[in-house]
């Protein structure tokens, strides 16, 4: 092709040159398209974009799972789903505490509770309470009251019947002490 400075190119040479330029143009366009695709893919995979996608998917998962568990009427704050669920469970526990009868009483077996209710069964063993009361009385009121028995699951401790003999003995000691003090003065 570089035959001369002023030489004209033949139609066949011109055709070959244009064909070569078109091939180069096609290669450049393909290269630009691939770099644009790579840039778009890299842009989508930034940490911030991934974090947004993960957060959106997490909220969808939490909302669908909570709706299955708590029913469609579940009002949950999706900014803090675990905290909202914990608050709701605590509220249900408070309602359950207030609605239960006295400890040691078995609730009557009735129909199954509603889906938004929490059911607790409390078990009370009188012999365990008797041992705890005996330990309390034998300590003579010194120090703090002992902890409830390990097996006890009661939310509120029952008031045990007083042990009359031990109380009468302590009352006699107190009366003797009170009578003794005025005489010594």
Q: What residues contact 17, with CB distance under 8 A and at least 6 apart?
A: 1, 9
Q: Considering the domain boundaries, does residue 180 fall inside one?
A: yes
Q: Considering the domain boundaries, does residue 135 fall inside one?
A: yes
Q: Considering the domain boundaries, does residue 178 fall inside one?
A: yes
Q: Considering the domain boundaries, does residue 163 fall inside one?
A: yes
Q: Considering the domain boundaries, does residue 6 fall inside one?
A: no
DSSP state letter for 135: H
Taking only the tens place, the pLDDT of each residue in 104-133 is 455 555 556 666 777 777 777 777 777 777
- The model's pTM is 0.24
Phi, psi of 177 (to 5 degrees): -65, -40
Q: Considering the domain boundaries, does residue 4 fall inside one?
A: no
Range of the domain at 129: 125-185
Phi, psi of 90 (to 5 degrees): -65, -40
Taking only the tens place, the pLDDT of each residue in 31-51 is 999 988 887 776 667 778 788
Q: Considering the domain boundaries, does residue 183 fall inside one?
A: yes
In the numeric block, which tokens belong to residue 145? 């009251």
Q: How far apart are CA 158 and CA 132, in angstroms?
A: 11
Which residue from 97, 151, 155, 100 is spatially nearest to 126, judged by alpha carbons? Answer: 151
Q: Considering the domain boundaries, does residue 94 fall inside one?
A: no
Phi, psi of 98 (to 5 degrees): -70, -30
Structurally, how many domains does the chain consist of? 1
């Amino acid at each position: 092709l570089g035959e001369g400075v002023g030489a004209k190119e033949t139609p066949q040479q011109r055709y070959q040159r244009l064909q070569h330029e078109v091939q180069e143009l096609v290669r450049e366009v393909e290269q630009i398209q691939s770099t644009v695709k790579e840039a778009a893919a890299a842009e989508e995979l930034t940490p911030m974009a991934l974090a947004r996608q993960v957060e959106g998917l997490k909220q969808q998962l939490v909302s669908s799972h909570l709706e299955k568990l708590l029913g469609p009427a579940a009002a949950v704050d999706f900014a803090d789903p675990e905290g909202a669920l914990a608050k709701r469970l605590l509220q249900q526990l408070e309602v359950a505490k207030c609605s239960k009868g006295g400890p040691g009483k078995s609730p009557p077996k009735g129909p199954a509770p509603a889906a938004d209710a929490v059911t607790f069964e409390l078990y009370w063993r009188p012999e365990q309470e008797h041992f705890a009361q005996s330990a309390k009385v034998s300590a003579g009121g010194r120090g703090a009251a002992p902890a409830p028995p390990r097996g006890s699951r009661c939310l509120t401790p029952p008031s045990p019947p007083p042990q009359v003999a031990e109380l009468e003995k302590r009352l006699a000691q107190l009366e003797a002490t009170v009578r003794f003090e005025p005489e010594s003065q």
